[in-house]
Amino acid sequence: MPAEPNVHQRRPSTQGLAFKRLFFALSVSDSQRRAIAQWRRSLSLRSGKPVPAQNFHVTLMFLGDVAVDQVPAICAAVDQLKRPSAPPRLLLDSLQVWQRASVLVLEPQQPPAVLLQLAYGLQQALLPLGVQMATREYRPHLTLARDFRGQPPEAVTAPEFFLGARHFTLYESRKGQYWPLAQWPLTD
């Protein structure tokens, strides 16, 4: 059972409602964070702003600004989500630049079906709540740098990071830091 969300007022809207900037993600272990950060340093980036290693994650679904009073309903909907029979194992083995978003990312050449199903399941679980979904196709990735311009840098060693997750988390993004609000196991 997920932890009860810790609800803080973020910023009032014109109607007096408070909002949180939320997303679902797979966390990255400390040892994986260190390995990815060390590999990123070997790229000698000349563009972009590196994402702090403590913020490394693989987004499942970005919710954006959500009214604080909707967070318990979101958690309740996810409580009912059918979990995968086995946790996803993700290989981040491709360094790419997403030009429109101006980000340097690690992504899988072959996204695991179980991860795609989980992201789709989250979208379907939250549809009845009227949560606005991204209209673009889900592409699992880990952001290495923001405000990145140009082509992917040459890597001395090819990326090959295996991420195994046992849970997924609802995070709040607050002033450049990510705060876990609730967590769910990845298997039933």
45 pLDDT above the threshold of 60: yes
For 115, the enclosing helix (H) or strand (E) is helix 113-126
Marked catalytic residue, from 59, 60, 141, 142: 141
Q: Report how far apart, in Å, the C-alpha atoms of 20 and of each of 64, 92, 128, 165 are.
A: 8, 29, 19, 25
Q: Is 167 a catalytic residue?
A: no
Contact 131, 66 (CB under 8 A): yes
pLDDT at 131 over 90: no
What average pLDDT does range 102-113 have in this prediction?
95
- Please state the separation of Cα 148 from the chain's center in Å: 19
- Rounded to an integer, the average pLDDT of 115-122 is 92
Amino acid 15: pLDDT:
55
Q: Is 141 annotated in the active site?
A: yes
User: What pTM was estimated for this model as a whole?
Assistant: 0.85
What is the distance between the alpha carbons of residues 149 and 39, in angstroms, rounded to a whole number? 19
- What is the pLDDT of the chain when averaged over all its residues? 87
Residue 146: predicted pLDDT: 96
Active-site annotation holder among 57, 60, 88, 118: 57
Query: Backbone phi, then psi, for 59, in 5-degree steps?
Result: -70, 135
